[in-house]
Amino acid sequence: MFDSGVGGLTVLKAFRQAFPTADIHYVGDTLHMPYGDKSPENIQDFSRKIARYLRNSGAELIVIACNSASSWAFEAVCQEADDIPVLDVVRPVVHYLAQQSDVNWVGLVGTRATVQSGIYPRLLKAIAPHIHIETLATPLLAPLVEEGIQLHDLNRILVRHYLQQMPLDQAQALVLACTHYPVLHDVFQELLGPQIQVLNPGQVLANQCKAQGMDFAGTGNLFCEVTEYTPAFEKTAERLLGYPISLQTVDLRS
Ligand code: DGL
């Protein structure tokens, strides 16, 4: 499983709850964080290297726990993964939305890379053309989460600043299309009110894997690596997961 930083841990958390016996090797590419402001070529290059590394480390499944990489590097990761299955966090959300009979108007917040890729409107148009989608890049939110800033007022100001730019009066759902954002789920929900469903892509993915009968016969081990050590990662990870992690560094530059 990989992301640019701590964001993918929201996917990991949902996945471990659904599959407590899965052994997970997580890579946070902190050296290149944020992916959301990188070019498609760089996102593909970073993602390929991590996928190769995970495959060579014995992974039996690769989960792209990052929307920016899911948007731009899904095919690149599949190529690199070869015969290993690859899951991402964009396609499950699109399928989930398409199955909701009461959803026809959706808002989406994500990184610049994800929004500029146009992947959500494109995939939705293909399988659920009746759903209208409004997207907005919200680039300040991932660094806020990565830094582990816990000032509720500051989080509220930033989230409200972005939500005010979106016409959401008719929306039934808001997609948190960046795996960092579920950390701010309660702030979004509080500002939007209960009538709008706030979607966590990691949870949607874990639910779908469970519904498909997936299973993992491991012992629930977690091996966590980052490409550059940051004390903020360790702290935020512990707060997010609710238990301490032992963090290693890995150099994937060559
Ligand atoms: N977690 C990443 C995503 O889902 C974004 C954070 C970043 O910009 O690196 O897109």
* Cα angle 240, 25, 37; round to 5: 65
Q: Quick check: 151 pLDDT over 90? A: no
Average pLDDT of the segment spanning 13-30: 97
Could you check whether the bond before residue 34 is cis, i.e. omega within 30 degrees of 0?
A: yes
Domain shared by 105 and 75, yes or no: no
129 inside domain: yes
What total of structural domains would you count in the chain? Answer: 2
CA pair distance 241, 26, nearest whole angstrom: 13
Write the CATH number for 60.
3.40.50.1860
Q: Quick check: 150 pLDDT over 80? A: no
The parent domain of residue 118 ranges over: 91-204
Residue 37 alpha carbon to ligand 1 centre in Å: 9
Say if CB 112 and CB 136 are below 8 A apart.
no
User: What are the residues facing 24 on neighbouring strands?
Assistant: 222
Domain shared by 106 and 197, yes or no: yes
**Which residues have CB under 8 Å from 246's CB, separation 6+?**
224
254 inside domain: no
Mutating to test ligand 1, I would choose from 10, 35, 91 the residue with most ligand atoms within 8 A of its C-beta, which is 35
Average pLDDT of the segment spanning 15-43: 97
The tens digit of pLDDT for each residue in 198-252 reads 999 999 999 999 999 999 999 999 999 999 998 889 988 999 999 999 999 999 9
Domain shared by 46 and 33, yes or no: yes
Atom of ligand 1 nearest to the CA of 71: 10
Say if CB 104 and CB 130 are below 8 A apart.
yes
pLDDT the model gives residue 254: 79
Domain shared by 192 and 105, yes or no: yes
Domain shared by 95 and 170, yes or no: yes
CA pair distance 10, 23, nearest whole angstrom: 16
The tens digit of pLDDT for each residue in 97-144 reads 999 999 999 999 999 999 999 999 999 999 999 999 999 999 999 989
Q: What mean pLDDT value characterizes the chain?
A: 96
